[in-house]
Amino acid sequence: MMTTKRCHMRRKLKLHQIQAMVASAETGSIRGAARSLGISQAAVTRALRELEAAQQLPLLIRSPAGLSFTEYGKVLLAHARLVLNQLHQAQSELDQLRGQAEGRLCVGITPWVMLTFLPEAVLQFRQRMPEVRLELFESLMPVAQPLLRDGSMDFAIGPLLPSMAAQEFTCEAVLNYETTVLVRRGHPRQKARSIHDLLDQDWVLNYAPDGYDALMDYLFWRHDARIDEKRIVLAQSVTMLQSMVEHASMCTWCPTILSVVPPFHDRVVAVPLIEQFEPRQLCVITRRSSTLSRAAVCFIDCLLQVIRRHSRSAKKEDQQLFNTLTLLV
């Protein structure tokens, strides 16, 4: 029993060790980590050696090209980043309460929300919390997921992906939104009636690395449609996706709302397919272990107020939006 207890004590992580590990990962070298932390190279080297000795595992791979990490090291590094981000958030919260410093809020926003409700929400948030430095990512969920996981991003507004495990993330549904297949205006297949009529076309899509099968099933397989995977281009930004649709005549699948908002509304059209796609949910997504800051709660409240206001509006453009949306809160 005593031996086991001593073993656990030896393996206890220390703050200076995880700081050295994260700094080494971010800079790619001992020298860069030392410069980043404001300490000597010897101190960084000692901290990393202490960490490996305490864990009794090989964590780092040292080579003339720089530092890299073993599988053990990659696991620990992910948790180390999260710990440091959580500590930074805690210090920021305390400093805000003291009135001594600005806070910071990092939010991932799915693109169609950016084009509709985001500007008003940001203006309202800035009026309520002008001291907070706001960082916004135009964030497709495959981009947001790793940032949420390591604590770099406070929360995201977007769809919950099947790959985002329930034990890791929490999700508060805001609204349902319809999805559709879009092509450029004037595309020779813009009046196609079935997904089967589009299998000989090139497609541009966005999906998480482990989300390919789920998307293929959603779009094609459940409708007994099989597409050559070489026809599918993976796009990691909405600008790239838009360019491929407009200038390379590719098909895509997107929230229907994009067909009625600038800059898309006069450039793309929804294809009137007989196949139906179930609505998706727009959610507030956070790490299950995290606590939202005062700034995060305020931002979410501002966004929900803006969405509710537009849902009650009699303006034609707002009614067009909510022809494709169903409010849940």
- One-character DSSP codes across 119-178: HHHHHHHHHH-TTSEEEEEE--HHHHHHHHHTTSSSEEEEPPPTTS-TTTEEEEEEEEE-
Residue 30's pLDDT band (boundaries 50, 70, 90)? confident
Q: How far is CA 94 from the centre of its chain?
A: 26
Please state which CATH class domain 102-177+281-327 belongs to. alpha beta
Of residues 301 and 96, the one with the higher pLDDT is 301
Residue 100 has pLDDT above 60, yes or no: no
- Fold assignment, 179-278: D-Maltodextrin-Binding Protein; domain 2 (3.40.190)
Every domain of the chain with CATH number 1.10.10.10 lies at 2-81
CA distance 186 to 315: 29
Average pLDDT over residues 247-269: 91
Look up residue 29 and give its DSSP letter.
S
Once rounded to an integer, what is the mean pLDDT over residues 294-319?
A: 93
Whole-prediction pTM value?
Answer: 0.69
pLDDT at 23 over 50: yes
Q: Using the predicted structure, report yes or no on whether residue 114 has a pLDDT greater than 80.
A: yes
SS3 310: helix
Under the banding of pLDDT at 50, 70 and 90, the label for residue 273 is very high
- pLDDT greater at residue 211 or residue 112: 112
pLDDT reported for residue 262? 83
In the chain, which segments carry CATH 3.40.190.10?
A: 102-177+281-327, 179-278
How are strands ordered across the β-sheet holding 133-138?
Answer: 133-138, 104-109, 155-158, 280-287, 169-177, 325-327
Token pair, residue 102, equals 């600005």
Q: CATH class for domain 2-81?
A: mainly alpha
Winning range, highest mean pLDDT, from 43-47, 149-153, 162-166: 43-47
Structure confidence at residue 36 (pLDDT): 79
Q: For residues 257 and 165, which has the higher predicted lDDT (pLDDT)? A: 257
Helix, strand, coil percentages (3-state) for the chain, rounded to 5, are 45, 20, 35
Of the pLDDT bands very low, low, confident and very high (cuts 50, 70, 90), residue 99 is: low
The percent of residues in the chain predicted with pLDDT above 90, rounded, is 44
Classified as helix, coil or strand, 216 is: helix
Q: What is the mean pLDDT of residues 10-35?
A: 81
- Out of 20-34, 73-87, 111-125, the most confident range is 111-125
Q: Please state whether 47 falls in left (phi above 0), alpha (psi between -120 and 50) or beta.
A: alpha
Higher-pLDDT residue of 251, 51: 251
d(CA 119, CA 122): 5
pLDDT reading at 8 higher than 70: no
Query: pLDDT value at position 95?
Result: 65
Asked whether residue 146 carries a pLDDT value surpassing 70, the answer given is: yes
Give mean pLDDT, residues 106-120. 94
7 — pLDDT class (breaks 50, 70, 90): very low
Mean pLDDT, residues 64-93 taken together: 79
Give the pLDDT score at 164.
60
| Confidence check: pLDDT of 202 > 70 | yes
Q: What is the mean pLDDT of the chain?
A: 86
Residues 6+ apart with CB under 8 A from 168: 149, 287, 288
